[in-house]
Structure formats: structure tokens, C-alpha cells
Amino acid sequence: MSSALQNKTVAILATDGFEQVELTEPKKAVEQAGATTRLLSIKAGEIQGMNHDKPGDKLKVDGLVSDANVDDFDALILPGGVANPDRLRMDESAVAFVRDFYRSGKPIGVICHGPWVMIEADVVRGRRMTAWPSVRTDLRNAGAEVVDEEVVTDKGIVSSRKPEDLPAFCKKIVEEFAEGRHAPRT
């Protein structure tokens, strides 16, 4: 176990329909590097994971995003799945949390369809990012510079395209999360 993220707390924001490995693998990576994680959601209790189009595990939620304070966290992970970010972007407290996190300059890891929440928060303009192919047009239309690479980092925002990118994504989020806050983004 590494200590790169010792004494850091990482928020993971998800709801029903998250792509299971896009939550569990980054969670495991940051915890192995010494971080504490907290699973935030728009609903209490448990949320349903997905293995592509089949139900996966249910995970216990640690707290509601509506009660969460950006100041209590050092980094944020936004997993994908189609339904998860689509539901999150319809919830104002989730969108506000992502917007405030972005403005804080703290690092964010986002994968697959996860950028939909960042697009809704209007925080991708001018950022260099990647995502699942069907999300790339949305990113472009929201003002991001879109590339097709396994992992992309821009001012503390780490983005990846799909589950196959997880090894590179997990390695890069640990590195960026260890660096900590970046200059406030505008």
C-alpha cells in the first residue's frame, strides 16, 4: 500500500446505473494509495451498479450530496454508466457540488459518460478532455477540446473513455490527487 494519498478524503459521486468497474477500480486505487473514500449520492441507502447492461452490485451510500461540503474533500471521482450521470445532471445539488468542486481547483477524475455532469455544471469550456464516443459531441458543444486518448489530464482534471482505460486512469488519478489543489480554474 502506498501513502501518496495519506490523510486525503476522496468523494465519489454516483447514483443508480453507475458502471460498476468505473467506481470500484478507482475507489480501490485511491484507497490503496492511502485515501479515505466517501460515496455520495442523490439518494440515501444503496445504489445499483451495472456491468454494462446487466445489474451488478448494490453499494451502500455514505452520504447525500445535498448535505456534502466541497471543503471536506480533497478530490472527486465521477464514474460513468449511461443512467448514472444522466440522473445526476438532473439533480441541482449534484450539479452544484461538481461546479463548486471544479471552481475550488481540487482534482477531479471522470470517465466514460461521467462528463455529462460536468457539462451540466458548465465547467468543461476550454478544458482538454476525452469521454465515451457518444459523449464527445456534447463535450465539444460545451466548449471542450476533445481528444481520443486513453487518459487526458488538464489542470487537475483527469478524463478517460471506457473501462479498458481504467489501469491508466487509476494510475493518473492517484498522481493528480497526490498533487492536490491546482490554481483555481476559470
Report residue 9 as a C-alpha cell.
478524503
Question: Computed over its alpha carbons, how large is the radius of gyration of the chain?
Answer: 14
Is 113 in the active site?
A: yes
Q: Which of 52, 113, 170, 182 is catalytic?
A: 113
Query: Active-site residue 112, yes or no?
Result: yes
**Which of 52, 112, 170, 182 is an active site residue?**
112
Secondary structure in 3-state letters for 116-172: HHHHHCCCCCCCEECCCHHHHHHHHHCCCEECCCCCEEECCEEEECCHHHHHHHHHH
8 A C-beta contact, residue 58 and residue 49 = yes
63 neighbors 40 (Cβ within 8 angstroms):
yes
3-state SS of 23-64? HHHHHHHHHHCCCEEEEEECCCCEEEEEECCEEEEEEECCEE
Q: Please list the active-site residues.
A: 112-113
